[in-house]
Each structure stands twice: as structure tokens, then as C-alpha cells.
Chains A and B, each alone.
Chain A
Amino acid sequence: MGDAATAKTSVAKSKKPTRDGFGEGLRELGNLRPEVVAVSGDLGDSTRAKWFGDEHPERFFEVGIAEQNLVSTAAGLALTGKIPFANSFSAFITGRAWEQIRISVCYMDANVKIVGSHGGLSVGPDGATAEALEDIAAMRILPRMTVIVPCDAEQARAATLALGDHVGPAYLRCGRAPVPVLTNPETEFEIGKARLAREGEDLTLVACGVTVYFALLAAEVLSREGIEARVLDMHTIKPLDTKALAAAAEETGALLSVEEHTIHGGLGGAIAEWLAQNANVPFKIMGVPDKFGQSGEFEELVEVYGLGPDSIAKEARKICARKG
């Protein structure tokens, strides 16, 4: 990660996977609210939903490797007053069961929380079949769906607790790879409200998930060159915080989005849709190119697909040059 690596200690200290934050949050929520149940497809250990199941076995439903039944069953549970967290790998639950999410959950407006772990490149060596690079797009286009991509384990915990109060369909994307912890239990989390991760006036880096950390590292590199980048942690992709985007467009005059997802239809796509109709500033989408993933260590994949801090800094300089 070159220059940026030297800046690492200034923005984060420890590392933890966001799936762990979900597991802790669900266990906590389960103790607070008896309506919370989990439905798993043989991956409860991996998604960490099992941490809830160990304390509340009667509220933990294992349905086997059967994602379609998993999602529609969760919808049925919701119709009896439960708050089901349906969990599996992101690639499988948003892919195999997409139509079940569309009809049984969204069209029916069932209070189901879809939780995908191993989102993005974090599945690493397991390779392309389990790497969800299209899940944000697939969930974002569904009416009534809320889409959340937490930047760290603490935020994943906060998001899980917030979903306990949120009524309606939602998708929470978690990852397997340990990622730096940027927030703490006191950090404010509100669904639909972006977190200002860094102040800056020259351009805005809009990121979600682990790329918030990469964006912060890139901002430090840029700062040494006299470019002050604002960093927005857009943890909620839908509904998008258009207020924060409008302010960023007006006050910084340029936007660069970064995500661990294909460049089509994810965070960048959401911002592009809004920008095209509301503001006219230079903008670029960074993400995984229009390709399938591959095996490799998480850090290697981040470099291969050009999502690291140095790549972000490079694009940021170009965007700044395009400002009028």
C-alpha cells in the first residue's frame, strides 16, 4: 500500500471482521427483544448468527443449505410478529434467493433483515463463486429495501441494533476479513445518515465498508500534498443521504466514490443517479471492474482491483484537476 501504509496508525488501531460485529449485535439484540429470531442455511458459524443461536436455541432456525426456503420462511416468521434475521453468504442469499427477497420480503413488506456475510472481496481464497460483488446492486433496486454496508465491526454492531427498531425489509452486508476498527460505541449511527469521517474542502471521497478506511489513508496522503479531502462514510446506500451529498458537491466541488463492489449499480451507481439529476460536479466511480472475482488474499485482491489508498489518491488528484 506504499506511502499510505505509513499513515495507518493515525486512523485505526485494532482489526476485526464486520461479521463479528453483527454476531455481537444480534446476541445483544436477542437479549433485549424476544421477537428476534435467526434463520440460517448451514453457515451460522461463518455469519456469526450462531452466537445468538447459542444463547437462544429455540429462536434459532437451521433450514439447511436451502436459501430459497430460508428467505421465504423468514417472511412467514415476520408475519407472526417475529423480527427474523435471515443470514447466509452475501453471494448466495442475495443471488439464489433474490426472487424470494423480491416477493416474499419486499413486495409483502415483511419485516425481514437479510444479512449477507463474506461480502465483497473478503472471502479471499475461496474465490469468485462466493465473492459477492453484485449484491449491493441486486438489493438496491428492490422497492422498500434498505441497504447498509458497515465500515467496521463496531458499526456493524450498531447497525444490527438499529435494525431491531427499523420496520421493513433491510439488507446488511458484512465481511469475513478483519478490517480496522474506525468507530467506537459512542459513535453516532443512524440509518440513512452518512457519517462525516474526515473534514475537507477540496473534494469528497464517498466510501462504504472497508473502503472508508482506504479513503481515510488516501486523504492523509493527499493532505501532505495540500489537498484536503472530505471523507463520507456512506454506510447506508439506500436510502442515500442526499443532504450530505448535496453539501459535499457544493462545498467541495468534486466527488469520488469507492466501494468493494462492481462499478455497476452499487454505491457509485446510486450517487451517479442522484448527481445526474441534482448537481453538476466532476465524479468518478471506483470499484471492482466489470469482472468476476478470483482467489487471493484480501489485501492482494484489493491491490489487483485498484481499490487501495494509493489508487484512490491517484484518482483524487485527477478529479481535482477536472474542477472548473
Chain B
Amino acid sequence: MTQSKPKTEQIKKEAIALRTEILRMLNKAGSGHPGGSLSMVEILLGLFDYALKYDPKNPEWEGRDRLILSKGHGCPALYAILALRGYFPLKELATLRKLGSRLQGHPQRGLPGVEIVSGSLGQGVSVAHGMALGERLNGKDTRIWCICGDGEMQEGQVWETAMSAAHYKLDHFHVIVDANGVQQNGPVKNVMNIEPLAQKWEAFGWKAFEIDGHDIELILGTYEKMMQVKGQPTVLIARTVKGKGVSFMAGNHKWHGVAPNDDELEKALAEVGKGI
């Protein structure tokens, strides 16, 4: 748990380590979702280095905040940061998607640090909303952080939740949209346009922020602002690049759900190591 703002340089190094683990585990698994995992690296680091209250030694600590990954297919990124922070051994990342592994293809409960089952898009944001209602009723100052995808905004359930969270004035409920602009079958704007996203959330009664989702200074500053808002839930539209850090994956929907082979891994790791 960290509450003072970390150094930008330190987070940039962590981003390289995180992307490296994501690519390695996907290569080892032979399947999975690199694009949407790589795009949310800085979003996660901002949480784990600054905004989130957590304790890897005591994953069920009552005072913890809740991190909900609604875009469940991005779980390699979540698994990697949990392992890097000591929730479970780093070597367990090699079991991703293997029979009997705690690292299922989409998150399930039972792996320390994983709060919910996700992978059926739209449901995680509602579960997070229920947690926000429950913890407020419990009298706790717990914050609920929920990471969604921008393609996921096409699910009607998301907007049912948006309505309700504003109705209940859940100012300890924060949604982060990893807006990488690309979904499985192409650019989000071509498949089914969901823009203007920030205005939509504002219209539903939320306080919306919109930033470059790879700029760590901006991310930290925005999380700070989100935690200061009173009387309404907050959403961050984090504009990111799908497959960030690897030139041949960046912005390419073909890399939504395909793992790199050994040659591709080598090229990808060389690029990621430069921290571009």
C-alpha cells in the first residue's frame, strides 16, 4: 500500500517489467488476449502504486479497496501485477490457461487478489456497483475501482449500472474505461460507435475525466481528483493504445486474442524493453 505519489521513472520501469511478464505468459499459454492486456498497464500501475489500498500478505484484508476487472479477457495484466506485487509466486504465471491452474483463461475467484469472476462483459461493473452499495451499508470507506473496456460500453447492462450508481450517489465507486479504440472485429467506431463516451457518462450523472491513459503523471493526478469528488460516482476515460509497447501489435485488432509465437515474443520483448 502506497499513499504518497511514486516517482514517474520508477513506474516506467515497472511498466516494462509488467509488459514483459504479460507477453511471456501469453506465449507460454499459446492463447489469450495481448492487445487489451498491454493497453491497461499504466492504468493498473497507477492503482497499485498510488490509489488502491491493498495488502498482498492479507488479500482478504477487510480495509482493502476492491479492484474489479470487468474486462475479464485482460486478466494476464491483472495476474502479472498481482504476482509482481507478491500475491502469489511469479512462476505460477507460467500456468496461465493450463488445466487445473488458478490462472483461468478468464478470472475466477480463488486466486489471491482476484475479487470476482469476469469475462462475460458488462457484469463486472454491476457486481462492483453492488459492492459499493454493500460497503457503504457496512459503514466502510472502501473504494471500488472497476476497469472496463470501451467495446464493453456496448453492453446495455453497463448503462443500467451507470443509472443506478448515480441515483445512489456512490462517490466511492470509480470506473476506469480502458478506451483503446479497438475490439475483436475492428475499430470500436466501426463495429458499433459508442462515442462521445465522456458526455454519455456525464449525461447519466457521473463526473467524467478524459486523459491519455499511458501518461503516468496524468493518471496519478486524475485518480487523486476522482477520490475528491463528493456526491456522484466518477469515471475515467483513459485513451490508450491497444497492444501498447509492441509496434506490430499496436492498434491492430488482429492482436486482440492471439498469443505471440516464439519469434514474435523475441521481437516484442526487444521493443518493450526500450519502453516506447
- A interface residues with partner B (beta carbon < 8 Å): 37, 39, 58-59, 61, 63-64, 66, 68-69, 71-82, 84, 99-100, 103-104, 107-109
Distance A298 CA – B128 CA, assembled complex (angstroms):
40
Judged by DSSP, the binding face of A is helix
Distance A99 CA – B126 CA, assembled complex (angstroms):
13
- B interface residues with partner A (beta carbon < 8 Å): 108-109, 115-117, 119-120, 122-124, 126-135, 137-138, 156-157, 160-161, 163-164, 167-168
Closest Cβ–Cβ distance, residue A113 to chain B (whole Å): 14
Distance A68 CA – B131 CA, assembled complex (angstroms):
16
Establish whether residues B122 and A79, one from each chain, have CB atoms under 8 Å apart when the complex forms. Answer: no
Which of B119, B123, B163 has the most chain A CB within a 10 Å cutoff? B123
Closest Cβ–Cβ distance, residue A109 to chain B (whole Å): 7
Establish whether residues B109 and A73, one from each chain, have CB atoms under 8 Å apart when the complex forms. Answer: no
Distance A74 CA – B129 CA, assembled complex (angstroms):
9
Establish whether residues B135 and A80, one from each chain, have CB atoms under 8 Å apart when the complex forms. Answer: yes
Whether A63 touches B164, Cβ cut-off 8 Å, given contacts A37-B137, A69-B157, A99-B120, is yes
Distance A77 CA – B119 CA, assembled complex (angstroms):
19
Of B122, B123, B131, B168, the residue contacting A80 (CB under 8 A) is B131
Distance A76 CA – B167 CA, assembled complex (angstroms):
17
Establish whether residues B127 and A73, one from each chain, have CB atoms under 8 Å apart when the complex forms. Answer: yes
Chain A residues lying within 8 Å of B156, measured Cβ to Cβ, are 68
Distance A50 CA – B130 CA, assembled complex (angstroms):
19
Chain B residues lying within 8 Å of A80, measured Cβ to Cβ, are 130-131, 134-135, 137-138
Establish whether residues A72 and B137, one from each chain, have CB atoms under 8 Å apart when the complex forms. Answer: no
Q: Which residue of A lies closest to B132 (CB)?
A: A76
Whether A104 touches B160, Cβ cut-off 8 Å, given contacts A76-B134, A82-B137, is no
Distance A74 CA – B138 CA, assembled complex (angstroms):
15
Which of B119, B124, B131 has the most chain A CB within a 10 Å cutoff? B131
Establish whether residues A64 and B164, one from each chain, have CB atoms under 8 Å apart when the complex forms. Answer: yes
Establish whether residues A73 and B126, one from each chain, have CB atoms under 8 Å apart when the complex forms. Answer: yes
Closest Cβ–Cβ distance, residue A193 to chain B (whole Å): 30
Distance A81 CA – B116 CA, assembled complex (angstroms):
14
Establish whether residues A104 and B117, one from each chain, have CB atoms under 8 Å apart when the complex forms. Answer: yes
Q: What are the 9 A-B residue pairs with the smallest beta carbon separation, nearest first?
A: A76-B130, A80-B134, A72-B126, A69-B160, A66-B160, A73-B130, A76-B127, A76-B131, A68-B157
Which of B119, B120, B128, B160 has the most chain A CB within a 10 Å cutoff? B160
Establish whether residues A76 and B126, one from each chain, have CB atoms under 8 Å apart when the complex forms. Answer: yes
Q: Which residue of B lies closest to A68 (CB)?
A: B157
Whether A103 touches B126, Cβ cut-off 8 Å, given contacts A63-B160, A73-B133, is no
Q: Which residue of A lies closest to B70 (CB)?
A: A72
Distance A78 CA – B138 CA, assembled complex (angstroms):
12
Establish whether residues A72 and B133, one from each chain, have CB atoms under 8 Å apart when the complex forms. Answer: no
Which of A37, A39, A76 has the most chain B CB within a 10 Å cutoff? A76
* 26 contacting pairs across A/B (C-beta < 8 A): A37-B137, A61-B133, A64-B160, A66-B160, A68-B157, A68-B160, A69-B129, A69-B160, A72-B129, A72-B161, A73-B127, A73-B133, A75-B130, A76-B130, A76-B134, A77-B133, A77-B134, A78-B130, A79-B131, A80-B131, A80-B135, A81-B134, A82-B137, A84-B130, A100-B126, A104-B126
Of A58, A74, A100, A107, the residue contacting B108 (CB under 8 A) is A107
Distance A84 CA – B126 CA, assembled complex (angstroms):
14
Establish whether residues A73 and B137, one from each chain, have CB atoms under 8 Å apart when the complex forms. Answer: no
